[in-house]
Each structure stands twice: as structure tokens, then as C-alpha cells.
Amino acid sequence: MVKPSLSTLLAKFSVTVAPDIGFNHLSLNSREIEQGDIFVAVKGHQVDGRNYIDSAISAGAVAVLADADDEKSHGQIVWHKQVACIYFWRLNQQLSQLASAAYFPDGNPLTLVGVTGTNGKSTVTHLIANLAKLSGIRAAVMGTLGNGEPGKLVASENTTADAITIQRQLCEMNQQGYELVAMEVSSHGLVQQRVASVPFKVAIFTNLSRDHLDYHGSMAEYGRAKQALFNWPSLECRLINADDGFGKQLLQHYPSAQSLSLEDSTADWQIANLQFSELGASGYLFSPQTRHEKLTFKSPLLGRFNADNLLSAIACLQFLGLPLESLLTQLPALSAVPGRMELFAGKRSVVVDYAHTPDALEKALTALRQHCSGELICIFGCGGDRDKGKRPLMAEIAERLADQVIVTDDNPRFEDPQTITDDILLGFNQAEAVTIIHDRCEAIAHALTHSRDKDIILVAGKGHESYQIIGAEVRDYDERAVVKQLVGAKA
């Protein structure tokens, strides 16, 4: 394989390099530099990458792209330890474009789907990939649960990785023969331009509810961040949940977008007469092409919102050319996404879900009530050093929708767990009826001991995560494994 050329790469940014330098990869992390790589030294809010130039060169960097302090310095080259340090004005804002040019000099051939929204991103991306696979298409995902083919995921640190890592991973997926990649696109990733040069063909909006206000400051700013995805110049299809308030606003802004609904018979895509049982959900699906024909919809997934998620996946794949009837026949073969309304049934029925926002908790409990013939027990907590305003909101929801509530620890981080619990308790009308057990394993064991055959226990907040953050310590904690062992079940 011919090495990329630095002079060819930088010519697109009005920078001349002589003599030319061949390189292997770009990297923002000096500790990940290998011989032949280029170190990209960005001045961040907390860390200035330029302080690690010496370390990167010692590790084998053949060149350095460094943040310039002013526009006049753009393109300036300083030789340091016989390595060219090329200064770049507003480097951070152009990382995605740089990385795209480095890894896809002839353009990105992958079919790319971007999914944004507060909840449902992981489920929708996995449903797209799994349904595509059942149709004979090699598909991968990028997001919270990891990157790669579902079932063979490589762990990821963030929902949306940094701009360089995204392009490198897409390049590797292309080399591995994947044709389609469904990517979770977080509001952080959009604001920080990490996906700026990802040529999305389809954009999907799931929903908008309270989350990340510690970062965005207001729901209006949070919504604006999500909306940015639908302005992508490469888009050929916009799919928007019409049952969501912000989704309705988006549909007014983008009249050519396709609407999806479980309630509105005028929507482009609709599932009507939705019924729930212990086996999943069923109803009739209507599409833009089948307005006057009832197609049978049968899903093994729990919850009304999973019907929403499936509708998004089906509409996406139908737009990409897969036959609608064929997609519907494949639905029974689907299984729950790890940690997303995942049922563990043994001596008791326990559902592990990632719900960590008021909206997600409300949807999870509402969904399970439709499947539950006994009592509904809710175990939840709230993360430390994060949006404190949602703590009493989640308490109000749990008290209103569950028969029993157990408050436990989530990721307390550097906050006192009791302080977090006290904030949560403010949202209960009858706080004395709430059980408080800080240890999550003990909380689950307590619920199992105090439940009966037809009860359902929801363990909310951790989902797929395999850790718990307490202070500066990241402890091993796999809730799915804990539940599986305690219940004596297979998912």
C-alpha cells in the first residue's frame, strides 16, 4: 500500500511542504504515535497538545501539525529535532477535513447513516446493521456500545469519537469490506465538528429530551446542536420522528423530510394498531409506497419506543434499496441490543436498560407496564458531577410509574453518593416508601428477594457499561453479567 503524501494532503490547505514526507496515520495522542505517523498537536480547553511534541517525535513521528496562535503563522514550518513542525491556523476546526483527505483521498465509498437524538441512537444503529446483515449486506456501527459489526464490537470511549479516529475507523471498515456504517452522532460531536467531513447519506432523528444541559446550557442550544446534522450537504434522506415535539419543528424546517409516527395517520411512515404481549409487539405498517396496504409488523422487542426505533431502521433501509416486505419478514430474527431493554428471564424477569434521563426512564417504565401482569419494580440512580436538575424529575417518574422503587448509586464520580440520593429523594411525594441501597448488586438482589413470579424488575442507568466510576477509580462492574448470574438466565 502506497503511503499517503503529506505535501498532497496539505496542498488542499494552501500549505507547501518540501521535501515531501510519506506517513502512515494521523494521531492526536502522543502516546499512540508509532514510527511513521504524524502527530496532530491541538490546543484544547484542558490540554495543549503542543506540550507533547517532543514525546511524539521520540515515539517516531515523521512530522507534526501544530495549532498556530494566529492566522499569519498558518503554513509556517519549524524544524525541531530534524522533524518538520507545520503550523496550522484553527487546526481543531479542520481536523475532520484533514483526516478525511488523508484516509479517503479519492472520496469515501461507504454508505453512511447518521443517527441523532437523546435516546434510541444505539438501538437504531444496531437495528439497521442487523437488518442489513440479514439482507446480505456487510454493515457496521459506530457509537456508545463500540465500533464494528454487532456482536464483534471494539469498545469506544465516547458516543462520537474524535475527528481523526472517526475517519481512520471508517477507512479500516472500508478495507475490511463493510458497505454500510450506521453511526451515532452526539450533540457534542456535532458542536465540536468531529463529523464535519463525514458524507452522511441518511440522517435520522429519534427524539429530544433533557440531557447534557451541563454542556449545552439550555434545551434550545441542545436542539440546535442536534439539528445541525440535517443541514449536511451530502444528505439524500432525512427521517424524523413526528411524535416528538422537536421532531415536529424539524419537519416544518425540512419539508422534504420523511415523517415517522406511531400516532399520526398522515405520517409518511406509520405503525398502526400497535399491540403488546410478553412476546413483543405487533401491528400494521404503512409506508409512502404502501399507503393503502396493511403490512403485518411483528417485533420481538419490548416497548413502544422500540417500535419507533424499528420504524426508523426499516425506513432507512428501504430508502437504501432493500425490499420492505423482506425487511418485515426478518424482524422476528432480531434480538435486543445489549443493555437496551434487554430481558433476562429465569426465576424472575429482570430488564437491564441504559435509561439515565427522565424521558428514557419514563419510556422504559411505560413500556414495561404494558408487558407486566404483576408489580413493576424500578432500580435507578443518577450520575455524580452531572446535571443535578434531572434527579428529582427521575424520582417523580419512578414513583408515578413503578409499584416499588429502589434508589441506588450510578456513577457517583467525585460527589458524595448520599448527596446525590438526597437530591433524588426531593422528587418523591412519599420518600419514606423508597428503599435506598447504595450498592447496585445488593439493590438487585434485594429486588429479586422481594418480588414475585409475574413481577418485572427494571434496572436502569448502566445498560451495556462494564464499569462504575467512584471517585477517581473506574471499577469493573458489568450489570448484565450480575443480573444474568443472580437470575440464572440467558438473555
Strands (DSSP E) contained in 186-279 are 202-205, 237-241, 258-261, 269-277
Judged on CB neighbours under 10 Å (0-12, 13-18, 19+), 40 is buried
Return the number of other C-beta atoms located less than 10 Å from residue 449's C-beta.
9
Q: Comparing C-alpha atoms, which of 260, 227, 266, 268 is closest to residue 242?
A: 260
- Residues in binding site for ATP: 117-123
Report which residue type is found at 181.
V
Q: Comparing C-alpha atoms, which of 241, 227, 250, 230 is closest to residue 271?
A: 241
Q: For the sheet with 269-277, list strands across it.
A: 146-148, 139-143, 180-184, 111-116, 202-205, 237-241, 258-261, 269-277, 280-286, 295-299
CA distance 39 to 328: 48
Contacts of 114 (CB under 8 A, 6+ apart): 183, 185, 195, 198, 200, 202, 203, 204, 229, 232
CA distance 341 to 367: 9
Residue that has been written with the C-alpha cell 477535513 in this structure: 97
- Residues in binding site: 28, 30, 45-47, 117-123, 158-160, 186, 192, 194, 386, 410-413, 461, 465
CB of 140 within 8 A of CB of 166?
Answer: no
CA distance 325 to 372: 31
**Concatenated DSSP letters of 70-130:** SGGGTT-EEEETTEEEEEETTGGGGHHHHHHHHH-TT---SEEEEEESSSSHHHHHHHHHH
Q: For the sheet with 404-407, list strands across it.
A: 342-345, 349-353, 456-460, 376-380, 404-407, 435-436
- Residues in binding site for meso-2,6-diaminopimelate: 386, 410-413, 461, 465
Q: Comparing C-alpha atoms, which of 365, 419, 359, 362 is closest to residue 388?
A: 419
**Concatenated DSSP letters of 456-477:** EEEEES-TT--EEEETTEEEE-
Looking at the DSSP bridge assignments, the partners of residue 342 are 352
Q: What are phi and psi of 35, to 5 degrees?
A: -55, 125
C-alpha cell recorded at residue 326: 423482506
CA distance 185 to 160: 6
